[in-house]
Amino acid sequence: MRAWIILKVLFLLFLANEVTAQNKYWVSQTDKQSINLINYLKLEPSSCSEWLEACTYSLNDQQLQLFQRNHITVTKCLSFFPLGNHPKSSNLAFALDQIKADALLSEGLSGKGVRIGIIDGGFLDADQSATLSLHFKEKRVVYYRDFVTPDLKTYGGAVGLDDNHGTEVWELIGGLNEETGIQYGLATNSIYYLARTDHGGYERRIEEEYIIQALEEFDKQGVKLINLSLGYTDGFLDPSENHSKSEIDGKTSMLTRALDMAAREKGILIVVAAGNDGDKKWETLSIPADAKNVLTVGASKYRIFDKINYSSIGPENLEYIKPNISVYATLGTSFAAPVITGLAACMMEYDSTLSNEQLIEVIEKSGNFYPYGNNYVGYGVPDCTKILRFLDDPDFKPESIKTYYPKGNALKIKENITGKTLVIYHKKDQRNVSHRVNLRPKKDRIKITRPANCRQSSVLIETELIEIIWP
């Protein structure tokens, strides 16, 4: 579950077609890394200066983030927005904008005092990250341990081994770049505990043992919120160590059992990335995302709250819904989970009496699919405005999802859907999707026919849901 540069580029190119708001930046032409990234992104310069040895490029927010995460200095020169579009009202990263995180910020929430543990790969150059600099200035990093190579320099490693994976995850939990004004994560005032348990150059079963050791160490230090953007399937260096899909049952893997115990008996809220195998042969969740009592996070698209193809699917044999929820991430579910970890920290700051079970329940209830969750997106994308209402009033009941009970095997729906993207999740039971259909209706009505062996169908009109319960 690591974000390799080619994967980053592919998703950023896809995103560029959807995101129109851009700014122009000077980028040095003397730095080899910046030239390689420019070539990968196929950027064309607007102008160049021989004196400055730099060119200007139009970058959207995601492209800018990629330059920053690779520690390439860019200098803003002017802003522009195409006709018919307007700048965003805030400097929130896209995922935070999607979940309406400004509702939490308007309450002054920042995860203050909440202890967050991050178990990940390397935290390469985290102490040099402009997005994390406040945490170091204010001495909010109180624990760091490298279980893999204890003698490695703190915050050391190599980009080629993806040792900056933990750094990028941390940025999305509590990152704030004071220079650009962009906020990437919500937990900007939390206390951090860091554990490197994963080697970027290979996969070995011992890394799962390191995770369990880190869990126990964090528990001793009173950590009640942990982000785990790691997962294991069949890609081990020694094939005899590979997992099988039959193990994704919530009870077989020792790592899954350890996480479930930490959540159930120790009261720790563990946020786990679902995995990136949704469009691969493996397809289903990675271990330990199958643990019942953790909060498993999949990835959704931005404007349409549909599953991104790569996001792993919950196995049908589970008696509970996985993933629990989904949130926007182009580069992997590794970068969806930390968004929710930051959200959870703000909830814990708002009401420190909430248990991990209560936190999960509130987040699920705020999702746009609730109560009709499925094994593709869980309960959908959380909404922070709803979360605040739930925290203030446990009896709060949001507007109900429109539900149809047709008498036959076909239903005509008339809604404001002309020109909008529509996604239908046909389900063989209450939660397991048999197949997904994408449509772009030309009229304001559509006829939906019940497929064979279909019990329910969820109709997603961009962000709004309609549920059909067939006779």
Q: Where in the sequence is the domain holding 125, given as residue range(s)?
A: 94-392
CATH at residue 20: 3.30.70
Q: Domain end: 330, 357, 392, which one?
A: 392
Same domain, 366 and 421: no
In a domain, 233, yes or no: yes
Give pTM, 2 decimals: 0.81
In a domain, 368, yes or no: yes
Q: Are strands 115-120 and 54-59 parallel, antiparallel or unpaired?
A: unpaired
pLDDT along the chain (471 residues), means of 10: 42 41 74 80 75 76 82 60 32 92 96 98 95 96 96 88 92 93 95 94 90 97 97 92 95 96 97 97 97 98 95 96 97 96 98 98 98 98 97 91 96 85 96 94 89 96 96 96
Same domain, 378 and 313: yes
Q: Are strands 433-439 and 402-404 parallel, antiparallel or unpaired?
A: unpaired
Instruction: Find out whether 420 and 441 touch, Cβ atoms under 8 Å.
Output: yes
Q: Domain end: 55, 80, 105, which one?
A: 80
Provide the number of structural domains found in the chain: 3
Same domain, 366 and 280: yes
Same domain, 129 and 48: no
The pLDDT, as a whole number, for residue 77 is 58
In a domain, 397, yes or no: no
Same domain, 144 and 253: yes
Same domain, 65 and 174: no
In a domain, 89, yes or no: no
The pLDDT, as a whole number, for residue 76 is 61
Same domain, 357 and 461: no
In a domain, 88, yes or no: no
Alpha carbon 410 to chain centroid, angstroms: 36
Same domain, 305 and 182: yes
Same domain, 62 and 138: no
Q: Are strands 433-439 and 422-427 parallel, antiparallel or unpaired?
A: antiparallel
In a domain, 112, yes or no: yes
In a domain, 85, yes or no: no
Same domain, 174 and 280: yes
In a domain, 152, yes or no: yes
Q: Domain end: 80, 112, 133, which one?
A: 80
The pLDDT, as a whole number, for residue 49 is 66
CATH at residue 254: 3.40.50.200
Same domain, 200 and 65: no
Same domain, 440 and 372: no
